[in-house]
Amino acid sequence: MVKRILIFFIVAYSPIVYAQNLDLLDDPEAAPVTEYAFATFKTNRVVNGHSVETVAKREFDFKISHRFGFVSGGFYDLFGLDQATMRIGGDYGITDNLNVGIGRSTVDKTYDGFVKYKFLKQSTGAKNIPVTAAWISHMGIATSKFTQPNRENQFSHRVHYTHQLLVARKFTEGLSVQLSPTLVHKNLVDSANLKNDILAVGIGVRQKLTNRTTLNLEYYYTLPSQLEENKTDVLSVGFDIETGGHVFQLFFTNSSGPFEKSFITDTKAKWLDGDIRFGFNIARVFNF
C-alpha cells in the first residue's frame, strides 16, 4: 500500500515533456493586450458605396470603375458592354485613419471629392469595442451643360453633398456586416415637390469564400416618399478577387451611378424587370 502511494508520487513528479514547452516564458504579470480587427473588407468599397476600410498612410489607391448597359440587351450590345459609365479616381491616406479622395465620372461629367475619417476600431482584449466606424463627407460638382438653359442657373445648382456614417463589424474571419446611414443633399432638384435632402441606409455584407476572394452584397434603402415614383433602390451582388496589389470587384447591379448621389438617388432600373448591369471596380494600391 505504501509502495503504491510512493510509486504514484514518482509518476506525478516525473518531468513531463511537452511538444512545445514554453515554461520559461510564463509571465503572469504581463499586461493585457488589445487585439484590433483588421481586413474587415478587402478594399475601401463594399460594391458601390464605401466600406469602413481606409487606405494606409502614404498609400494611394487608384480606382477605375465601370458600370455597363443592361445584360438583357443581348449579344448585339455584348450584354451591355457597349454602353458604359465610368469613374476614374483615387483614395489617399493622409494617416492610417484619415483619407481624402477625388474622382471624375462620365455621369453628368461629375467631379467628386471626399474626406473620410475612421474614428473607431473594433477590438478585443484590454479594450473591447464591438465595431469599426468611420465618417465620410462627399461633395460632387456636375459640370455637364444645364438641361434647361432658359432658367436662371447658378453654379451652386451643380453641387451635391453626401454624408455617411459607416459602421461595420467583423463577426468572424469570414463574415463582415456594415450599416451606412446616409444623407444626400442636392442643391437643385427637378421639381418643387421633391426633397433636397434624402435619407437612406446602406447595408453591406461580405463573406470570404477563400483567403483572397469574397462574395459581397450591398443594398441602399431610401426612406419612402423622398424620390420620384420611378426611382428605385440600388442592390448589388459582387465578387472580390484580391491579388498582390490589386482588388478586382466584379458585380451585378441595377444602378449605373458611379458615385453616391447617383447610385443612391438616381437609380431607375429595377432588378425585378430584369434590368441588371454588369460592373467592375479595379483598385490598385501604390506606396509613396
Partner 1 sequence: MKKTTILTFAILGLMLGAFKNHSGGIYKTNTGNINFFSHTSIEDITADNHKVKTAFDATSGKIQFSALIKDFEFPKALMQEHFNENYMESTTFPKSTFSGTIENMAAVKTTVDGIYTSKVSGKLTIKDVTKDVATIGTFTVKSGVVNTKATFTINPEDYNIKIPKTVSGKISREIKITVDADYRHAH
Instruction: State the Cα–Cα distance between residues 196 and 176, nearest whole angstrom.
Output: 32
Q: Under a CB-based contact definition with an 8 Å cutoff, are residues 67 and 257 in contact?
A: yes
Whichever of 109 and 212 has its CB closer to partner 1, that residue is 212
Whichever of 33 and 199 has its CB closer to partner 1, that residue is 33
Whichever of 7 and 102 has its CB closer to partner 1, that residue is 7
Nearest approach in angstroms of CB 23 to partner 1 is 8
Residue ranges that bind partner 1, judged by CB under 8 A: 2-3, 6-7, 9-10, 13-15, 19-25, 27, 38-39, 56-57, 59, 96, 173, 211-212, 242-245, 285, 287
Nearest approach in angstroms of CB 47 to partner 1 is 20
243: Cβ contacts below 8 Å, ≥ 6 apart: 212
Whichever of 276 and 285 has its CB closer to partner 1, that residue is 285
Whichever of 72 and 124 has its CB closer to partner 1, that residue is 124
Nearest approach in angstroms of CB 89 to partner 1 is 18
